[in-house]
Amino acid sequence: MDHVLTARTLFGTTMAFHIIFATLGVGIPLMILLAELLYQKTKDNDYALMANRWTKALAILLGVAIPSGTIAGVQLSLLWPGFMEVIGKVMALPFQIEIYAFFVEALFLSIYVYAANRISPTMRIVSLTFVAIGAAASAILITNVHAFEGTPTGFRIENGQIVDVDPWKAFFNPSFAVTATHVVLSAYMTGAFTIASIAAYKMLKNKHNERIQLFHKKALMLGLTVGGVFSLLTAINGHESAQLLHEYQPEKLAAAEGLFETQSHAPLVIGGFTDRETQTVKWGIEIPWLLSFLAGNRFDTVVIGLNDFPEEWWPPLFVHTLFNAMVGIGMFLLLLSLVGFIWHRVKTQQIFPNWFMWTIVTAGPLALLGIEFGWVFACTGRQPWVIYRMMTTAEAVTQSTNLGTLFLLFTSIYVFLLVAVVLVLRSYFRRHPIEQHLATHM
């Protein structure tokens, strides 16, 4: 493999690993907070118990999120020193402010986990709120750097020198708000569906214990409701993200849709594979005019096709599949929560049939897959640029060689940690079964 490709693979693998834990680290604090608030409101002990158990799981997950994030942060400088040189001069603010967010989260998480029995209920909720704010702020700020890579502003490059630097203008670059919102909304959605998945699974496994069924049913409905709300918001905001691409990175949108010829009344193609030779999307379902409408809210919007750009600027064409998968998952989960919600309303007291429960079990993993597809689409779809139209990925890469060995080392650590985290979670919840707590609380 050539040098740049190895570096990309290594960094992409690190990020793909980190994002699993980071997303849950943003999403689950919200669920814990909601459970704590519901407990304060209803005085139903089940909610206190949920908050307690989810916090334990969160502490374990953050035990991987934090070191893998540390890897991501340091690797960014080690693998892409050319990129970080520009970032350091122009876009240092989000990284710096993110440090404060990390501090807030680390301080209050330690307080919530290790001092929970010594602080008042109010301080517990305050601490949790700070954890949730810190996590969301970290996500927003790091995403801002990513947004800047797509829509760089606040500087110019003149004869290889960086001039006219305006760090706040770079901070508030055109895609910041929409992109950061998308990441946070999708993380909340993923956290909620993960909770729903686990609750559904537990209900299927504990058919004969009504008390346990009741407990998990509450968690399930909380997860489905929150997940449903946030998947609707994610879809609306995702539509805005696509319009942003239309405006600022048209070749990325063209690659996402497999559109080669510039046209008005452009069709939307769902599924299929983009074929470079014939310049078509094979086996896709074509919906006339829809792409134009999505890009500009009018059917006569002209959408630029790939042929208007030099071929070396084209992103890899498989991003079409990634984009479809992300949007497809979003639509599916929205539908799922809608059906579940209506069902629950119409037939109260009734438990969902097995097939529907098993579908809910897939929701959490699917949402996580949506996150992965979305990110790989966003980062790979930016190629060959690391900073759009300013710096190519090849210009940014480290001069050190031997990246192959490092790739093997890091990947084995990730696999190892993934296995370890599953074992530790299982071991903890095996030793602290829900029955035990329910018995003491009743």
Partner 1 sequence: MTDELIAISILWGFIFIYAVMATMDFGAGFWSMVYMNRPQTKATKIANRYLSPTWEVTNVFIVAIVVALVSFFPGATFMLGTILLIPGSIILLLLTVRSAFLVFSHVAPKYEKVLVYISGISGLLIPAFLISVLPITHGSFVETVNGVSQLRLDRLFTSPHEYAFIAFAITSTLFLSSLLLADYSNEANETEAYAIYRRDALIIGPFALLSSILIMITMRSEARWLYDGMIAYWPWLAASVALFLVAGLALFLPSWRKKNGRGMPRLAVVAIVLQYFCASYAYGKAHLPYMIYPDVTIESGFTHPNTFRALFVTYIVGFAILFPGFIYFWRLFMKDRRYVANDEK
Q: Which residues bind ligand HDD (CB under 6 A)?
A: 143, 150, 179, 182-183, 186, 189-190, 234-235, 238-239, 241-242, 245, 326-327, 329-331, 367, 370-371, 374-375, 378, 381
Q: 209: which residues sit within 8 A by CB, 6+ positions away?
A: 435
**Residue type, position 158, single letter:** E
- DSSP for 294-324? HHHSSTT--B--GGGS-GGGPPPTTHHHHHH
Q: 43: which residues sit within 8 A by CB, 6+ positions away?
A: none
**Local structure of 154: helix, strand or coil:** coil
Min dist. Cβ of residue 83 to ligand HDD (A)? 17
**Residue type, position 181, single letter:** T
**Local structure of 269: helix, strand or coil:** strand
Q: Which does 145 bind (CB under 5 to 8 A by kind): ligand HDD, ligand HEM, partner 1, none?
A: ligand HEM
Min dist. Cβ of residue 125 to partner 1 (A)? 15
**Other CB atoms within 10 A of residue 121 CB:** 11
Phi, psi (5° rounding) for residue 282?
Answer: -80, 140
**Local structure of 43: helix, strand or coil:** coil
Of 53 and 252, nearer to ligand HDD (C-beta) is 252
Window 43 to 72, contacts with ligand HEM (CB under 6 A): 62, 65-66, 69-70, 72
Q: Which does 367 bind (CB under 5 to 8 A by kind): ligand HDD, ligand HEM, partner 1, none?
A: ligand HDD
**Residue type, position 114, single letter:** Y
Instruction: Count CA within 13 A, CB hemisphere, residue 258.
Output: 27
Residue whose token pair is 């879809």: 235
Window 160 to 179, contacts with partner 1 (CB under 8 A): 162, 165-168
**Residue type, position 326, single letter:** M
Min dist. Cβ of residue 380 to ligand HEM (A)? 4
Q: Which does 351 bind (CB under 5 to 8 A by kind): ligand HEM, ligand HDD, partner 1, none?
A: none
**Other CB atoms within 10 A of residue 92 CB:** 15
Min dist. Cβ of residue 212 to ligand HEM (A)? 31
Window 236 to 295, contacts with ligand HEM (CB under 6 A): none
Binding window for ligand HEM (CB under 6 A); candidates: 101-109, 119-127, 277-285, 348-356: 101-109
Of 49 and 139, nearer to ligand HDD (C-beta) is 139
Which structure tokens are listed for 241?
Answer: 């993200």
Min dist. Cβ of residue 334 to partner 1 (A)? 34
Interaction of residue 409 with partner 1, rule CB under 8 A: yes
Distance of CA 201 to the CA centre of its chain: 23
The H or E element containing residue 21 is helix 3-42
Q: Which does 424 bind (CB under 5 to 8 A by kind): partner 1, ligand HDD, ligand HEM, none?
A: partner 1
Number of residues that bind ligand HEM (CB under 6 A): 41
Interaction of residue 82 with partner 1, rule CB under 8 A: yes
Phi, psi (5° rounding) for residue 172?
Answer: -95, 55
Window 93 to 112, contacts with partner 1 (CB under 8 A): 93, 95-100, 102-104, 106-111
Which structure tokens are listed for 270?
Answer: 């769902």
Residues in touch with ligand HEM (CB under 6 A) = 8, 11-12, 15-16, 18-19, 22-23, 25-26, 62, 65-66, 69-70, 72-73, 76, 80, 83, 102, 105-106, 135, 138-139, 142-143, 145-146, 183, 372, 375-376, 379-380, 382-383, 386, 393
